[in-house]
Amino acid sequence: MKVGYIRVSTEEQNEQRQYDILSEYEIEKFYVDKASGKNTDRPEYQKMMAYLREGDTLYIASYDRLGRSMMDLLNIIDDLDKRGVKIFSKKENFDTSTPQGRFMLRSFLNLAEMERDLIHERTMEGVRIAKAAGKYKGRKPKELPHDYHRIMKQWVNGEISAASACRYFGCNTVMFYRWAKRNGYEKASD
């Protein structure tokens, strides 16, 4: 079976570009995640990994859609290879079932990881310079959802969990607890 995997990092990003890239391969089943690639804790990724069988081919727009960490990606590829699943990446255009393909993958992953590190380093340097000049204000605070206070009261009263509130708000737990503290909502334990 031809299986496609598409991942964008946030809900706001559009996955259509990756659909377009993979459209020529007559893919029978797609799995789409809107989540960071920093680890493999992604719902559609988990479903896809459980679904893939020997003889299937996994199509991706590029290897960084499967994962950002070189170790994660190498583990994913090794797992799929042992299960008899082929992987094809449109961008890198090589086959991981050959020694040459695995070598090329490791080389590309090392370069991609270095590029991400350099971008992060340059970004942080720019932030330090802006802070020193008094021009850095940080990220604009996210606006509270319209029914924020109702949901927070339910959380404080123990009617819903923090995880449920996070899913409702579409935020992570760090943001949830930051909002709670900033707006005076406290709960003994969750």
The reported pLDDT for the residue numbered 188 is: 55
The reported pLDDT for the residue numbered 55 is: 93
Residue numbers annotated as active site: 9
Share of residues in the chain with pLDDT > 90 (%):
36
The third-level CATH classification (topology) of the domain covering 2-109 is: Rossmann fold (3.40.50)
| Euclidean distance between CA atoms 165 and 40, whole angstroms | 23
Residue 32 predicted with pLDDT over 90: yes
- What is the mean pLDDT of the segment spanning 50-66? 93
Beta carbons of 153 and 180 less than 8 angstroms apart: no
pLDDT band at 24 (very low <50, low <70, confident <90, very high): very high
Q: What is the pairing mode between strands 29-34 and 86-89? A: unpaired
Token representation of residue 42: 């992604």
Top pLDDT among 4 and 68 is at: 4
Residue 144 predicted with pLDDT over 90: no
Domain ranges within the chain, ordered by starting residue: 2-109, 140-190
Average pLDDT, the chain: 86
Spell out where 21-102 has E strands.
29-34, 57-60, 86-89
- What is the mean pLDDT of the segment spanning 28-44? 89
Residue 177 predicted with pLDDT over 70: yes
Q: Could you tell me the sign of the dihedral formed by the alpha carbons of 164, 139, 64, 12, in that order?
A: positive
| Euclidean distance between CA atoms 37 and 58, whole angstroms | 17
